[in-house]
Amino acid sequence: MPRRRQNTITGYELAERNYVGRVCEKTANYDLITIVMVCLGHEDSSDYKGILKLLGTLLVSASSAEEKKRILRDEFAISADRGMDEEVLNMRKLIAGIIISVALSSAAMAEVDVHAHIIPAGYRAALIQHDALLDEGFPLPKYDADAQLKWMDETGIQTAVLTLAAPQPYFGDSAECAQIIRAANEEAARIKREHPGRFKFCAALPLPDVEAAIAEAEYAMDVLHADGIKLATNSRGQYLGDPALDPLFEVLNARNAVVILHPHRPEPVSRAVMRQTPLAMQEYLSETTRAVANMISRNVPARYSRVCLVVPHCGAYLPLAVPRMKSLTSVMQANHLVGEIDWPKNLASLYYDLAGAHSPEVIRILLTVTTPDHLLYGSDYPYADPQALRGSLERLRTYLAQEPDLAPFRTMILEQNARRLFGDNPEPAQTVAAPQQALVRIAEVEVHPKRTAECFRHAPEL
């Protein structure tokens, strides 16, 4: 066996790929074949661990039955004491079938990570030149596409969507910013081109110069074949929802663009607060909520409804903010502070990635403001230790399989929703009956004293 194949598990699939035209045949109408090749190497190899060691112990190890039992018990927490004598332990074909069927079920999940960052060398050099490397309050991690691919292979992720990290490389010179952004987008396009099927990217834009941003969006989508656009919550103080950005959203709307949002350092910001509590710990969530609320108050998602907006970090504080905003809308309108807000249409354009501190409880509260087909997996690579990110994904997989009310959405969240969002899977979202014990939000309602009696009179109807 070639050395490069030792201690590897590789999957090969037969699936429809449309090269000219679009057929979109249902998978039930053609053969789906998945082959999993298990190539075991020498026991002394550093890669000989985890599932590879488990397979090696069961299938090829010359160890005695008692030694196999000990390894299974001590290293894998598998009890092999109940009737598992030497004859059973040596039934290699049967064991191989069981183990590989488990591996096959995992390999069949082509998971998509919609929240990963590219940090090109030229971008980093520009930040260093302008003394902006710590603009977001913490160091930029090193990025290497090969290292990310290795992590994806080890973790079981098929495709990652790359976006440029923060901060926005605008330092008062629009032409310089456009040049930095163009180079970053071309680097992302190169990585996508060299690793087909493994990477997508959403192009950065040289805001706050709106005309330059429109030109870059058109170039990125038409020439570089970007899969979408990345927008910062604010670009050096120009916040999403600003009327100046409407011409850009008109262009993105005409192209049915996917737009991935990401928090940047708020403007203005208290440096003392940043030092006390780093932005990523809390302020990024406030900043994301602020920007999306700003768009909603001007009906930006509703007016440009063909733009799909991906809200990062488990929706930030939106599940808490939306009910409050709704409850105060009439008061604000009475004081001529906001106009009519189309809540259903605004919320329908929002998707949410689960990067950060996801949990069953977080997903349940997200489902009070969205639907399961708008939830997406995201890692935030490379901003945390790779092993920590892997553990986070394993935890997500586990509770999505074990929680009865969330289990129907497992494949949707880990793969299907992202594939559909980016056009890889044109079939409509599957309809899943809402669980009978689904969480339902009852928002706090603030009532003007003159309306108290009327409110209580109608309360029984509610």
Distance CA 314, CA 357 (A): 8
- Block residue for tokens 């930029």: 140
pLDDT digits (tens, 9 = 90+) for 38-65: 777 777 776 677 667 777 777 766 677 7
123/7: higher pLDDT? 123
Residue 178 corresponds to which amino acid? Answer: A
Distance CA 292, CA 222 (A): 27
pTM of the full predicted structure?
0.73
**Cis peptide bond prior to 278, omega within 30° of 0:** no
Domain coordinates in residue numbering, the chain: 3-107, 111-421
Select from 3.50.50.60, 3.20.10.10, 3.20.20.140, 3.40.50.980 the CATH code of 111-421.
Answer: 3.20.20.140
The bridge status of strand 33-39 relative to strand 111-118 is: unpaired
Distance CA 56, CA 254 (A): 55
Residue 430 has pLDDT above 80, yes or no: no
pLDDT digits (tens, 9 = 90+) for 341-363: 999 999 999 999 999 989 999 99
Nearest CA to 415 out of 21, 7, 5, 15 is that of: 15
Distance CA 372, CA 409 (A): 6
pLDDT of residue 27: 47
Distance CA 385, CA 396 (A): 17
The first and second tokens of residue 315, run together, are 């929706």
pLDDT of residue 20: 44
Distance CA 429, CA 417 (A): 7
pLDDT band for position 208 (cuts 50, 70, 90): very high
pLDDT of residue 436: 47
Distance CA 101, CA 74 (A): 23
Minimum mean pLDDT range among 32-36, 219-223, 327-331? 32-36
pLDDT digits (tens, 9 = 90+) for 130-158: 999 999 998 899 999 999 999 999 999 99
pLDDT digits (tens, 9 = 90+) for 283-342: 999 999 999 999 999 999 999 999 999 999 999 999 999 999 999 999 999 999 999 999
Compute the half-sphere exposure of residue 327: CA atoms within 13 Å on the CB side of its CA. 13
Distance CA 68, CA 93 (A): 16
The bridge status of strand 238-239 relative to strand 234-235 is: antiparallel
